[in-house]
């Protein structure tokens, strides 16, 4: 299996090359040139398979021969060392909790998988040149990438984050690991960080000196493993014998697109719903048919503050760039911060369930879709972050009920190590001086 560029002006590549490059030379996203449905026997027998057996069967075709099967099996086992609880919130409504990984973000699975793939590819190289993963973060991505790549041989990780604009816990997750992980604290906004990273990828001065690669969700090794979540929920719900709808709080639309890939592989999903905050370009597009990007609006669900969702082009490819085909499979809703806060209160007061702002949006979108369509089946919303990461925006009366996980207890006492920079030149000097 090969990957082609969605800009269609670059050669097809193997999984390995797609992972190492991140983006195609024509700046397009890579997309698999075939998606083979899994056999019926796989679905009939799912109950008897472990998480890692399911994940291996799901990802295998996309890796092809670039990683030997026994190595891939081991990688998948090392990635999935935590739980993905499916919590019933009310009759026929479940929360799929994806935040029990080391950095309490659903991005842990993709980051850990990508890190191990890159580590394997490095170990196979005759030369021992390092790869430098350069990543800009508004909060969640940096922690997941730092943790996923920690102590991976031959990989240096450099994380840029905007000074004073990530939560205390998120900052600790980025700045306390040490070893092959370094943090650069940028005097500026997240957009400034991202602009510096983009500039570095195009800068010819690094050629032959530093091998830069990216670890954001455009990378196929971060995006595709997320298919597993949907299979894992299905395994536990299939005995109910009811149709299933997934509702996904979305920013760059990588996670929901992975669900749509799972459906292409034969997973019985009746419909997808996306929930967004005020950055609502996709729900608007579904309603009006025109894709109008605005400036990014800051919200309390800040991991979804994305004005131009990078993975949406992959979703369009899956539906042949036909909006009616897309509408038949996807509904979208958007919510204000006030609505999000009142959903968090409602969930807590009515069901005793504590949702983070992103999960709350997933829940609202699910309920609105069920009401609007009269859907009579099971609804699953994806809970993408632990509420402890958003203490400053969760209604005050709920905060004391949130239990601090061990991984956070251990980190709050550690000392932050970050190097402050304020210009691209300083970033460049720092990278070339390694
Ligand atoms: C990244 C993130 C999202 C959005 O996921 P996409 O794949 O970019 O749509 C939602 N919630 C949380 C907590 C996140 O960190």
Residue range 222-248, pLDDT digits in tens: 999 999 999 999 999 999 999 999 999
Q: Which of 101, 140, 301, 310 to mutate to test the pocket of ligand 1 (most atoms within 8 A of CB)?
A: 140
Q: Is residue 202 part of a domain?
A: no
Q: What pLDDT shows up at residue 332?
A: 98
For the stretch 70-128, pLDDT in tens is 999 999 999 999 999 999 999 999 999 999 999 999 999 999 999 999 999 988 876 66
Active site residue 420: no
**Mean pLDDT estimate for the chain:** 94
Q: Given the CA of residue 389, which atom of ligand 1 is nearest to it? A: 13
Is the pLDDT at 404 greater than 90? The verdict is: no
Q: What pLDDT shows up at residue 96?
A: 98
What number is the average pLDDT over the span 332-361? 98
Is the pLDDT at 307 greater than 70? The verdict is: yes
Q: Is residue 422 part of a domain?
A: no
Q: Given the CA of residue 139, which atom of ligand 1 is nearest to it? A: 15
More confident residue, 57 or 153: 57
Q: Is residue 388 part of a domain?
A: yes
Residue minimizing CA distance to atom 14 of ligand 1: 303
Confidence of residue 323 (pLDDT cuts 50, 70, 90): very high
Q: What pLDDT shows up at residue 412?
A: 83
Query: What gap in Å lies between CA 90 and CA 419, rounded to an integer?
Result: 47
Q: What pLDDT shows up at residue 126?
A: 64
**pTM metric for this prediction:** 0.94
Is the pLDDT at 374 greater than 80? The verdict is: yes
Residues 6+ apart with CB under 8 A from 428: 200, 203, 205
Domain that holds residue 93: 83-105+223-403
Q: What pLDDT shows up at residue 59?
A: 98
- Is 94:378 a contact under the CB 8 Å cutoff? yes
Residue minimizing CA distance to atom 11 of ligand 1: 384
Q: Given the CA of residue 385, which atom of ligand 1 is nearest to it? A: 13
Query: Could you tell me the distance, in angstroms and rounded to a whole number, from the CA of residue 285 to the centre of ligand 1?
Result: 19
With a Cβ cut-off of 6 Å, ligand 1 is lined by 105, 107, 140, 217, 249-255, 303-304, 358, 384-385
Radius of gyration over every alpha carbon of the chain, rounded to an integer in angstroms: 21
Q: CATH number, domain at 287?
A: 3.40.50.1100
**What is the number of domains present in the chain?**
1
Q: Is residue 343 part of a domain?
A: yes
Q: Is residue 364 part of a domain?
A: yes
Q: Is residue 312 part of a domain?
A: yes
Q: Which of 138, 252, 356 to mutate to test the pocket of ligand 1 (most atoms within 8 A of CB)?
A: 252
Q: What pLDDT shows up at residue 138?
A: 80
Residue minimizing CA distance to atom 1 of ligand 1: 303
Q: Is residue 279 part of a domain?
A: yes
More confident residue, 177 or 123: 177
Cα distances from 235 to residues 159, 230, 254, 314, 409, in angstroms, run 36, 9, 22, 26, 33
Q: Given the CA of residue 226, which atom of ligand 1 is nearest to it? A: 7
Query: Could you tell me the distance, in angstroms and rounded to a whole number, from the CA of residue 223 to the centre of ligand 1?
Result: 11
What number is the average pLDDT over the span 374-389? 95
Query: What gap in Å lies between CA 22 and CA 3, rounded to an integer?
Result: 11
For the stretch 38-50, pLDDT in tens is 999 999 999 999 9
Among the options 2, 107, 172, 325, which is catalytic? 107
Query: What gap in Å lies between CA 84 and CA 69, rounded to an integer?
Result: 24
Q: What pLDDT shows up at residue 127?
A: 64
Q: What pLDDT shows up at residue 128?
A: 64
Q: Is residue 20 part of a domain?
A: no
Query: What gap in Å lies between CA 421 and CA 87, rounded to an integer?
Result: 43
């Amino acid at each position: 299996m090969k990957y082609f560029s969605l800009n269609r002006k670059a050669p097809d590549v193997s999984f390995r090359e797609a992972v190492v490059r991140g983006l195609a030379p024509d700046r397009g996203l890579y997309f698999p040139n075939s998606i083979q449905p899994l056999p019926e026997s796989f679905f009939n027998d799912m109950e008897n398979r472990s998480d890692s057996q399911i994940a291996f069967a799901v990802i295998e075709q996309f890796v092809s021969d670039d990683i030997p099967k026994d190595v891939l099996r081991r990688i998948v086992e090392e990635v999935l060392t935590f739980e993905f609880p499916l919590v019933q919130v009310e009759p026929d409504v479940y929360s799929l909790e994806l935040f029990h990984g080391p950095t309490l973000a659903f991005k842990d699975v993709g980051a850990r998988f990508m890190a191990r793939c890159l580590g394997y590819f490095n170990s196979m190289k005759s030369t021992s040149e390092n790869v430098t993963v350069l990543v800009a973060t508004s909060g969640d991505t940096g922690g997941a990438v730092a943790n996923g790549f920690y102590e991976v041989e031959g990989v240096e990780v450099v994380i840029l984050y905007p000074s004073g604009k990530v939560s205390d816990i998120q900052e600790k997750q980025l700045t306390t690991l040490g070893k092959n992980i370094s943090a650069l604290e940028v005097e500026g906004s997240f957009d400034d960080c991202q602009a510096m990273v983009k500039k570095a990828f195009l800068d010819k001065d690094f050629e032959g000196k530093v091998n830069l690669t990216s670890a954001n969700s455009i990378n196929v090794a971060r995006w595709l493993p997320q298919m597993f979540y949907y299979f894992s929920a299905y395994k536990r719900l299939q005995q109910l014998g009811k149709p299933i709808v997934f509702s996904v709080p979305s920013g760059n639309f990588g996670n929901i697109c992975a669900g749509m890939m799972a459906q292409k592989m034969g997973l019985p999903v009746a419909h997808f719903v996306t929930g967004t905050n005020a950055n609502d370009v996709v729900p608007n597009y579904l309603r009006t048919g025109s894709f109008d990007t605005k400036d990014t609006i800051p919200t309390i669900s800040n991991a979804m503050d994305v004005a131009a969702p990078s993975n949406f082009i992959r979703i369009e490819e899956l539906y042949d760039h036909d909006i009616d085909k897309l509408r038949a499979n996807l509904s979208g809703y958007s919510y204000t911060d006030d609505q999000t806060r009142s959903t968090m209160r409602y969930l807590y007061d009515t069901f005793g369930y504590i949702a983070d702002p992103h999960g709350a949006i997933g829940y609202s979108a699910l309920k609105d879709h069920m009401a609007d369509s009269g859907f009579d089946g099971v609804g699953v919303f994806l809970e993408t972050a632990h509420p402890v990461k958003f203490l400053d925006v969760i209604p005050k009366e709920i905060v004391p009920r949130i239990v601090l996980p061990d991984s956070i207890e251990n980190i709050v006492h550690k000392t932050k190590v970050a190097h402050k920079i304020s210009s691209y030149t300083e970033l460049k000097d720092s990278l070339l001086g390694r």
